[in-house]
């Protein structure tokens, strides 16, 4: 179903589309297939609701977000099970994501009350300057499939806290999770039109309507760099505010003063995060020559023991990839690397035995001998493949790490404080984790530089993306 102006409804066309389980290929449900006309109605509803919602006090908006936070935690298990069915991640990881999603509602419930203004002295005795921060207006949000609950609240939370209304188009692979999130928002009593949901199997006409509408004053998007650039170009025609969380190609640097086993454990855990389908997953693992053998052995041992399968199976750490094209991309990158001289230490193939036959599974893989001529060295993988590159000097590895158009996450393992600081300052990435594979949280600003995006989500910066600055000059 669509959720427009406070009502659950069918698409104007009456069309629906199937949602499948990536572990089995079976159809889970059918969802209303929204189109341009539905997007137009959602925009109109959001525009009509804006003045009323923005006119509430910050405390009133905050109360709704607090209520949604508590209700989401109450439904944590049901949401997690749905996520495992629809997106494929292991149930334990799905439970963690629901908690992470709720954290954004809680954080921005608090930040709603901390949108401060400013008074500025003037060089004229009879003049004062005042600065106000006000909601930008109707926001369009386009969210990805890899984190189908938390990426919704990371956008909805700050938008509502700031006083904006929103129209959200979820990924076509995971609309069921979005519907359940909007059921929560409906039940906490948000006024009609404040939040609107338009799932679709064809994002082009819905996206075109959102981007061309003058009523929509901001676009927030999480997805590929290629699509993000197209959306930015279209958003420019109506001068919309834009925030983009795009692709990554994270380096993971292990210096020779680090513990190779500890570094390998960290690398393995973050590499297979969400089956490698996270923009912060490391795509290039650089290890200094002196500990390369020990690191590779520990990494291969840990990754090689990981179990792939349905996310509902106890002990499974590797779920399916989201769809057939994703599976083919990972397989193509591995075959290209091997053809150009890389060595498969463990894994390296699609998994088709027994219960895995009908799903989109790829074995957790470690490659060595990876060079910059290989596709996997240059392109984001979005799969459970760890390419290892050996380096000799600090200057060499920092140059290699920065040799990419992307700039989202990066990782450094070292026990040398000076080396850590030099790496932090020289890495051209929006996020640096030093001996830390989880440098994220609702209270922290998340985002990248270069082709990895614009703006920040989470933290104090997160709400400013939804606020305009107004200067007032007062003379007396």
Instruction: Check 164, 279, 380, 457 and give the catalytic one.
Output: 279
CA neighbor of 22 nearest in space, from 146, 183, 142 = 146
Query: How far is residue 374 from each of residues 28, 337, 342, 362, measured CA to CA in Å?
Result: 38, 5, 9, 19
**434-472: pLDDT as tens digits:** 999 999 999 999 999 999 999 999 999 999 999 999 999
Distance CA 301, CA 261 (A): 10
Mean pLDDT value across the chain: 97
Distance CA 108, CA 443 (A): 9
In this prediction, residue 332 has a pLDDT band, given cuts at 50, 70 and 90, of very high
Region 51-63: mean pLDDT is: 98
Q: How deeply is 96 buried, as exposed, middle or buried, from its count of CB atoms within 10 A (0-12, 13-18, 19+)?
A: middle
Q: Which two tokens stand for residue 349?
A: 């193939």
The answer to whether the predicted template modeling score (pTM) of the entire model surpasses 0.85 is yes
Find the length of the chain: 476
Distance CA 251, CA 369 (A): 16
In this prediction, residue 158 has a pLDDT band, given cuts at 50, 70 and 90, of very high
Instruction: Check 86, 111, 215, 245 and give the catalytic one.
Output: 245
Region 353-381: mean pLDDT is: 96
So what's the pLDDT on residue 34? 98
Region 303-331: mean pLDDT is: 96
**186-237: pLDDT as tens digits:** 999 999 999 999 999 999 999 999 999 999 999 999 999 999 999 999 999 9
**Which residues have a Cβ under 8 Å from the Cβ of 75 and sit 6 or more positions away?**
180, 184
**236-250: pLDDT as tens digits:** 999 999 999 999 999
So what's the pLDDT on residue 18? 98
So what's the pLDDT on residue 44? 98
Distance CA 214, CA 140 (A): 11
In this prediction, residue 130 has a pLDDT band, given cuts at 50, 70 and 90, of very high
Distance CA 207, CA 251 (A): 32
Strand, coil or helix: 228: helix
Where do the domains of the chain lie, and which CATH numbers do they carry?
2-246+450-475 (3.40.605.10), 250-434 (3.40.309.10)
In this prediction, residue 395 has a pLDDT band, given cuts at 50, 70 and 90, of very high
**29-43: pLDDT as tens digits:** 999 999 999 999 999
**257-291: pLDDT as tens digits:** 999 999 999 999 999 999 999 999 999 999 999 99
In this prediction, residue 149 has a pLDDT band, given cuts at 50, 70 and 90, of very high
So what's the pLDDT on residue 384? 97
Of all residues in the chain, the percent with pLDDT exceeding 70 is 100
Distance CA 52, CA 49 (A): 6
Active site residue 279: yes
Of all residues in the chain, the percent with pLDDT exceeding 90 is 100
In this prediction, residue 417 has a pLDDT band, given cuts at 50, 70 and 90, of very high
């Amino acid at each position: 179903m669509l959720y427009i102006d406070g009502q659950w409804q069918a698409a104007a066309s009456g069309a629906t589309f199937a949602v499948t389980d990536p572990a089995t290929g079976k159809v889970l449900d059918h969802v209303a297939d929204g189109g341009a006309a539905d997007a137009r109605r959602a925009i109109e509803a959001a525009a009509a609701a804006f003045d009323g919602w923005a006119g509430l006090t910050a405390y009133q908006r905050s109360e709704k977000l607090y209520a949604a936070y508590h209700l989401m935690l109450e439904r944590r298990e049901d949401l997690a099970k749905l996520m495992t069915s629809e997106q494929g991640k292991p149930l334990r990881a799905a439970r963690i994501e629901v908690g992470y999603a709720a954290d954004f509602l809680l954080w921005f419930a608090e930040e709603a009350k901390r949108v401060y203004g400013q008074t500025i002295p003037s060089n004229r005795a009879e003049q004062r300057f005042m600065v106000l921060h006000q909601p930008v207006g109707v926001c369009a949000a386009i969210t990805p499939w890899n984190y189908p609950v938390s990426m919704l609240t990371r956008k909805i939370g700050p938008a509502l806290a700031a006083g904006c209304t929103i129209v959200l188009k979820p990924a076509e692979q995971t609309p069921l999770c979005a519907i359940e999130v909007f059921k929560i928002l409906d039940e906490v009593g948000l006024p009609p039109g404040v939040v609107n949901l338009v799932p679709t199997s064809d994002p082009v006409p819905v996206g075109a309507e959102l981007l061309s509408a003058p009523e929509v004053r901001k676009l927030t998007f999480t997805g590929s760099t290629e699509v993000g650039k197209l959306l930015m170009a279209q958003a420019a025609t109506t001068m919309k505010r834009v925030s983009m969380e795009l692709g990554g190609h994270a380096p993971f640097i292990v210096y020779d003063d680090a513990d190779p086993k500890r570094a390998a454990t960290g690398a393995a855990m973050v590499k297979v995060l969400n089956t490698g389908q996270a923009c912060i997953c490391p795509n290039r693992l650089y290890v200094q020559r002196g500990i390369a053998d020990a690191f590779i052995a520990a990494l291969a041992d840990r990754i090689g023991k990981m179990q792939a399968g349905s996310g509902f199976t106890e002990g499974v750490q590797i779920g399916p990839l989201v769809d057939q094209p994703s599976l083919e991309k990972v397989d193509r990158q591995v075959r290209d690397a091997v053809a150009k001289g890389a060595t498969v230490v463990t894994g390296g193939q699609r998994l088709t035995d027994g219960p895995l036959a009908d799903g989109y599974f790829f074995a957790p893989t470690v490659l060595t001998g990876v060079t910059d001529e290989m596709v996997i060295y240059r392109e984001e993988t979005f799969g459970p493949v760890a390419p290892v590159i050996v380096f000799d000097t600090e200057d060499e590895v920092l140059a290699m790490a920065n040799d990419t158009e992307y700039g989202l996450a990066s990782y450094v393992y070292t026990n040398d404080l000076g080396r850590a600081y030099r790496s932090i300052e020289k890495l051209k990435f929006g996020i640096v984790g030093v001996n830390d594979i989880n440098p994220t949280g609702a209270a922290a600003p998340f985002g990248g530089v270069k082709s990895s995006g614009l703006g920040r989500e989470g933290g104090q910066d997160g709400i400013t993306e939804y606020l305009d600055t107004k200067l007032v000059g007062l003379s007396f």
